[in-house]
Structure 1
Amino acid sequence: MNPNEINHSWKLDTGSQQSYFCRKKTKINQFYRGERKYFSQKTSLALIGLFLQGLISLGFHYHLYSSEPKEMIQSLMNWVLFLILIGWITYQVNRMDYRRSQTEESNPLELEQNYQEGRDQNSQPQEWLYQAILSAPNPIMLHAEDGEVVQINECWAEITGYTVAELPTLSAWMERFTSPEPLPSVKNPVGYSRLPHIFQEYVITNSHGHLRVWEWSSLRLGKLGDGRNLLLSTVVDITENRPTETPVQQSNEQLQLSLLQWTAELTQANDGLQEELQRRQQTTSELHQVSERLKQLLRSSPAVIFSCQPQPNYKITFISDNVKTLLGYDVATFLREEDIWHNYVPDEDQDQWRDAFIQLLATGTHIHEARFLHAQGNWCWLQLEMRLVKDGGGNPAEIVGYFVDITDRKQAEMQLLTTQNRLKTVIETVGSGITLSDKQGNFYIFNSKITEITGYTLEEAQSHVNFLGLLYPNPEAYKKAQDQLKFVALMGSIFNIETTIQTKNGQSKTLLLSTVMMQDQQNPLFLSTFQDITPLKRAEKALCQLIVQEHLVWEITHQIRQSLNLDDILNTTVTEVQQLLECDQVLIYRIFPNRQGKIIAETNLDESLKHRRSQAPLIPLECYKNFSRGRMRVINNINHDPINSGLLKVLKHWGIYSAIMVPLFEQNQLWGLLIIYQDQGLRHWLQWEATLLRQISEQVGIALQQSQLYQQTQYQARRAQTLNHVIQVIRQSLDLDTIFSTAVAEIVTLLRVDRACILQHFPQKQQWQEVASYSYSPYATPPILPSIQPLNRLETDDFNVPNSQEIQHLTGISGSWLPIPLRVGSQVWGCLGLLKHQHLRGWKESEIELTCAIADQLAIAIQQSELYQELQVANQQLKRLATVDGLTQVANRRRFDEYLAQEWQRLQREHADLALILCDIDYFKQYNDYYGHPAGDTCLKQVAQTLEDLLQRPADLVARYGGEEFAIILPNTNREGAIYIAQQIQGAILQLQLPHADSIVSQWLTLSLGVTYTIPSTLTSVSDLIAAADQALYQAKQQGRARYCVQEI
């Protein structure tokens, strides 16, 4: 048989297999010398008994081997030598077990290694016995007491024809016997009775089908690893010797009787020894159980125990078995490595390990966390706690400790650190200032944006006792800020509150504040966001200033136009401008064609300066040309700004140090200068001030032209009165269509021309378009197409010179045209044209002047109308910004509250139905977390647009009610209508098929809707309607979302 086929661990005596480590861990009484001598005697008697039993058995069967004395003696000698070998091996094994049990206690950390050495020593005698059994010339079987076959030798396999794999148990062998007598009982082997059953005959059928007669004998050999008795059985084939058996058997029985008494005595002594051995086996078994329990605890423990030398390489001297589970290495690998703390750690951690051992040697204890190479090739994190053991002389003797795997904890810490870094990045890159603080003023979050807004760093904010007082130095503002914090502590949050703070450099900023209170271990924290809306406020202020400027310009213009007297116009101009700009002085300087001039209007006239100012030097030619081109001059400081030397001389002559000089024109000719200045200190002029003065100068120029026109046309009183009538009619309306139709009708009536029209010019298209026309008689109307007729642009340096060919091309008829440009500011808006087609004659100077005057008024009306339209657009834009949600472009919460209250009052008067639907996007937070906030914003826009498109009636309103909530107001809608709209909303949202992978209810984005309705009355209120809709929405969420519920008030 092949020795490698053995599948059982067996031993001659259980005591020899007990772990040296386990015996040393359990305290047992040692044998005394007398007990040792007794044990030796008992062992000798047992061996003699074993030898005699084998000899007797051999004597019973000598006739089976040969009938010749020589052959019988040879066989007998073989058996004797075999039994002597078995007895000697058994004795040696028991003796080694006994010596090992008497060994003195040693270092606990060496017990496991000693056990391994003991086990290796025990294996040698067992191997000898095993080889002896396999090479025996007789058939031998090793089997357990319950019948399980452990091993058979080659001789057994040859005479039977079967192997262990074919017949694994004695019961399987029993099936091969044909004799009615059974196999010998496995519970009655040698060692279990005083007089063992030596042999028994029975007939067996071998693998070739032949009947054979066997004699079977058994002997107890030891115990298996699981505690069962191990038996050695042998058989003798006596088929051929059956006829001559009787004489020999009688002789054997006689010999057996003579030896029976002595064998019984030896057996009794052996039984005593067996009882002693059984007691030792029981003690050893208990020690083995304790050892196995300790090993099991070590294997299941997350901590690996180790010891190492206190030398530079710190070689491992002991390590527990669970290192295989933790790191994947065998114990032998650690014990074999000379420098494991260097070979199995990363290069970059070498210094840390070296410092750890140095600190351990210095302090005696150390806890270290570092990476270690796993058997699978990856790095794992270990936490080691080590202690230095010293000998009696205080010198380092050994290092003991344990380590555990903290890789999961380290990965969790890394993930936490990554999450914290991401959160920090978000907090730092968001466009708003973010703080997290407590009532004591300790800041836990203070991002860079808040530093940018306030100018204070986190250290400055932490070090100051009252940081809130820095931001609100004004007592009233500070009290208001404290009241807001109290409100947050009471209500939990405030949103979008405007507040004004003072920054570190003293600058005031307007912020949009939102604060939410959070609980952190009974310590309330305040999470606040600050958005700097100072530029927005400046824009609002600039828009308001623009509106105010336009109004002021209109007021000044109105005051100027209260009189056509030149002196009144000029005095009114300087007075109004001084009040508007709050400057020291305002004057109007008249410039004549020879560049000489004089001051003709001035505020706060100082008589001491009147003579000096009347003798002012000439305006430099270069400056005169610039003023003639319409360029204004802004001077903040005459000592620092680059100024023409001649102009500097004039300014110093007048005592001006800071000024704005705006040219005044009359009929495109430089008429004079409007000068606003400071004579007491310097002033930095603002852009809007210069722009306002430009507009006022244009109005003053118009007023000058009107004054000149008034002086020149006094002799034409009737026409002037008519003209004033036309002007008053124009001023009564800001509607251009009304103004244009009235103007052309009055011109035709006043001047008795055949036709008057107003054409608007579109520079982008290079086209003219007729916007109004009037004819004296119907038949005189030229054949102009009723639709917009594209015409070439008419350009000429002198609009007083008519171009008959162009006009004929324009109208399709012959005649004399007078085109007058309509200028708005510096741009040509269009043209006022007059037609005389009865006689080709020129135009009178008075007609041209009157037409130009009307054209100027039309230009003013156009400008006023445009300003009014711009104002209306600005107002509408402001109103829209105040009522529209910036993200979704639907009505915001403010518009929702206003409109719901408005419709409630209206429908209460009409006793009509009013329905309200609240919509909430299901699992929108998960949507944001999964797809990101940009995708969430896009989702909100799509949902809002879908709701807008779904509602057909103008009275219906969609509003953004909250973060992911929308509200729909449905006037004149009953219960059925509201449910129908809710169903339509659900269908429309599903048709969008917006993916929502993190939703529990659907793979697509869904809505939960709360529907309510009522007829407004004095018994209910708007809040009741909102509460009912909110309750219905809550029911829809509780029932699983992606549905609607209806709640009646």
Structure 2
Amino acid sequence: MFFPDGEDMTHHHQPVEQQKQLLKQRLNLQTQALVTLARSQTIDRGNFKAALQEITEVVADILNVERVSVWLYQGIAVAQRLPLGFFPQVNEAFFERGTPSGTARQVPGTEGIRIKCLDLYEHNLRCHTSGTELAAGNYPVYFQALASECPLAVHDAQTDSRSQELSESYLRPNGITSFLDAPIWLNGQMVGIVCLEHIGVQRQWTLIEENFVTAIATLVALTIEACDHILTQKQMRQHHQFLVSEYHDDLERLVEERTAELTRTNEKLQKEIQRRSTVEAQLRNYQQHLEELVEEGTREIIQTNEQLQREILSHQRAQEALQESEEQFRCLSEATFEAILIIDQGNLCQVNTNFTQLFGYESGEVIGRNLGEFLAPEYRSCVPQLTASNSEQMYETCCLKKDGSTFPAEIRSKAIPYQGRLVKVTAIRDITAQSQAQEELKKSVSLLNATLNSTTDGIVAVSTAGKIVSFNQKFVEMWGLSQDVLRVPEKQEGFKFFQEQLKEPERFLEKVNQFYAQPNAEGDDVLELKDGRIIECFTQPQRSGFQIIGRVWSFRDVTEKAKAENTLRQHLQQELLIAGMCDRIRQSLNLGEILNTTVEEVRQFLRTDRVIIYRFEPDWSGTVVVESVAPEYLATLDIVIHDPCFGADQIVPYQQGRIQAFADICAAGLTPCYADFLRQLQVRANLVVPILYGVSSQKRGGDGERLRPEGDKEPALWGLLIAHHCSGSRQWQPIEIDLLKSLATQVAIAIQQSSLFEQLEAANQELQRLASIDGLTQVANRRRFDEYLHEEWRRLAREQSPLSLILCDIDYFKLYNDNYGHLAGDFCLQQVAAVLRQCVRRPPDLVARYGGEEFALILPNTDARGAAFVAETVRQRVRGLRIPHVKSPVSQYVTLSLGVASTIPRLYASSQKLIGAADEALYQAKAEGRDCLRHQR
């Protein structure tokens, strides 16, 4: 059980300590994976979908499982519910779940239950899918197994009774042979599973893997709780912000509504008072005539008294409504965050609690006092404006507390009718924090200006309209600008100085326009100036909050840095070129590939028009074996070139390492024939380095221009490494000459190595052939038989294809040797071997001499029926040879007995079983009279 993924069981003989070490490594990997997932930032951010994908990917990599998925139950009621849709990617995956009974874990039933896949990761495809559902009504046995086994480990998913009902609809379409399910427990309930699905050869799940998957299921449950907690906190913060933003507006709305309501109530009260006055006047008139109208007006007096009582009751109710309105107004004034006071004729008649707390007074101490007493002396001149009935402006002033301290404040006043008269409602707000923020802003601006002027970069800020709004002194110095240029309002005119100094001003201005067309874009560029300087520039949008108000440009002079980088880059490219060729020589034995790559990289490095490798023939003519040439120039590949000026006197200098470097062949003083030869090849400048074959290394001579071999051995001149510059004259640099010297040495090593490898390969092939062939019959020997059978066994085990084996034995061959002699016996064996080779013509089939007079036929991808047909064909053709065998009890001619065995190999089984089956079938054929075949399945 400790060999997952179909490992070969023949490794059981490994030492116990080695197995312990292997288990320890696996445990460490799993522990590290759990720690990494527990610390994942995706869980901390509440991104449930990303968290699930990260978990499934890690599990698939650690356990080498093709499919890893997370499923949740649906259709089960539970008292404690998780919030629906608290992470959008789950959608309907969260649902009602069952309530635990007591303290024991309750497994949900199967009626109306299903599980839904939240995330499925396929390892080889590197993709995630979701949405698959499995209903418990369709797979009751499987769901019962989930409820009763924790975890559920199924090694043969196709035949296991717990999962067999999933075979047709789910397992076979997905190629699943084994799976391991671990439950997800949350609040004492099994709410889902983590599923590992193996594809290919059946897999034996280990206890370590079961424990690891159980831990992963626990981690998924914790992830659900963490994401729920994060979502709840986020909703609480949003609700709090909403209440804060809405409170002030609602308060002002309520104040205005209550003020209007009080106004209407006051108007009604005035009307009632006037009406009462009228009634009282009428009553006095009635009293004057009371004596005269006692008898006649008794009834009228009673009615008048009743009407008066009703009016008095109405007046009392109006007073109560007025008091209630005043109480509501007082509550509103207490609820605001500002200090509220009511001023009547310049004096305070009412204040709220915020006023007394802000100024340090008791409410009784301020009633009747003038507003100016609460302002700093230097600000009391604005009191008439604040108390004026038509004033509704806002003023910034300085208020005076009871303890004598002052604070900056903002005052607003508004006139309203109150208790039948016009009063001023004034609000005072402490703006100390705003004043301090303004001071900090001034300091920050000052620090920013100092920073901009002290930096080595030229910095300029431009508005969205393209107008320069700010810049530092380094920018002015770098571009040599005047103040008049910087004050130009138009964008195109403001950037005109770039056109005068840049080598490619159109390209730069095009990029500028692109940035202004895309306000959010950031970018950088390298600018080349006409005076030779190189300037790096970087730009990004300038934001105020979420609004883009302009763009900032930064410029840096990197001329010296660019020159140093260019020199360093050339040296680095040379070293990489040589190192790359050395690696290719070590890693590849393909000489043509090495040489072609070399000339192409050299031409790119030198930026020249043609690079060739020229190989000499014995008569000192030669052929261009590889070439890299620009499209517009003559190609010389595979052309045989005969240089009329190259003679024996040229060989020795080249063998001694002479290097030729001509900047211009017209001014180099060359012989006319050599100069004409180079002109035919369109060459203007030439660099030639010899390739010396047959030495282990080369060293620079004392004159710095010749290469000499180690020791006294004279090297052979194999060819030349040549660089042609065709477009014009060129002065070859020392770094370029050194590069070709080093590469010529590496080319010589590659040529020498390739030659040695070809000799070694030929020798190895001949040895391999001799080691695998039987010398007498020229068919495969027993050693090759064992190797090939093992190879095909493992290959066909992976493909699950049939393999057949035929063992043949010449009947009574000892009697044949005794009667005809060993030479005749050898010839008989050769004839039988020839017949076997003729009967099996497929490339995968193998004929081998198994023993003295025994032969074997290995038939891959052949079932029992096909193997029987081949065996019968062999038997009849051997009889058809009609080789005389007078001593044979079976026939007067040589015959064969054959045993046939067929199987579908398995990785954990041994091929020796197939050999034993074929040998047993051969024994049966001999026991039943020989000259026949028997098949053993």
TM over 0.5: no
Higher RCO, Cα 8 Å, sep 6+: 2
Larger Rg: 1
